[in-house]
Every structure is written in C-alpha cells, then in structure tokens.
Amino acid sequence: MNRFALLAAAVLLALPSFAAAETWTNVPLIDVACSAKSKVKANPDAHTRDCALACSKSGYGILTPDGTYLKFDEAGNAKALAALNASQKADHLRVTVTGELEGGTIKVTDLRL
C-alpha cells in the first residue's frame, strides 16, 4: 500500500508538466503596445506590418475571436519578429500559433504568418 501511495503522489505531481498544447488558427498578430488601442481591437486587420515592426520592443501576441489579448513568451516574440521580417504583407497579419497557455501568456512552440 505504501508503494501505491508513493506512485500515486508521483503521478499527481507530474500532471502539471503534461499541459496540452493548443492551437489558435488565423488570428490577428498584434504588438503589445497597440493591443489596448480601441481602433486596433475594432479592426485588427488594418494594423500594419510597419507598425508591428516599429513596436517590436513591446513584444507580440494574438487577439482571440472573443476579443481576449494573449501575450507571447520570449520565444514567441522572436518567432513573430522573424515572421514579420520575412513577410511582405502590409497588413492583415494573421497567424496560426501553437503553444501552451499559462495565465495570459502563450509559450509558443510554432508560429506561422
């Protein structure tokens, strides 16, 4: 019985480390600095690549369909900046992001513009 209790405790302690990855598809990519602006929230597809690059130091995130803004972790910020630099899109910056949501931050494992 004692071994069973130890095994059960080990399994329960390990559960949080097995958080499932989520995917957000075709959602607007917005820099943190512009995320609170009402005109950006009202029409995120009008937010330009030039603005997103100019505000890169603030970091990036996505606007979910329900209007919630989720920030990226440092790895996600780097992936977003690289995707923006490689893109020629002027606006309509939509991404597909895969990662784990912890609080209001996504630990990004994959990002595609």
Instruction: Supply the pLDDT for residue 1.
Output: 53
**pLDDT tens string 49-104:** 999 999 999 999 999 999 999 999 999 999 999 999 999 999 999 999 999 999 99
15-57 pLDDT, tens digit per residue, is 555 568 999 999 999 999 999 999 999 999 999 999 999 999 9
Q: Within its chain, how far is the Cα of 4 from the centroid?
A: 39
pTM above threshold 0.95: no
Distance (Å, whole) CA 103 – CA 94 = 22
Calculate the alpha carbon distances from 85 to 16, 49, 101 in Å: 35, 9, 25
All domains of the chain in start order, with CATH: 20-112 (2.40.50)
pLDDT of residue 11: 52
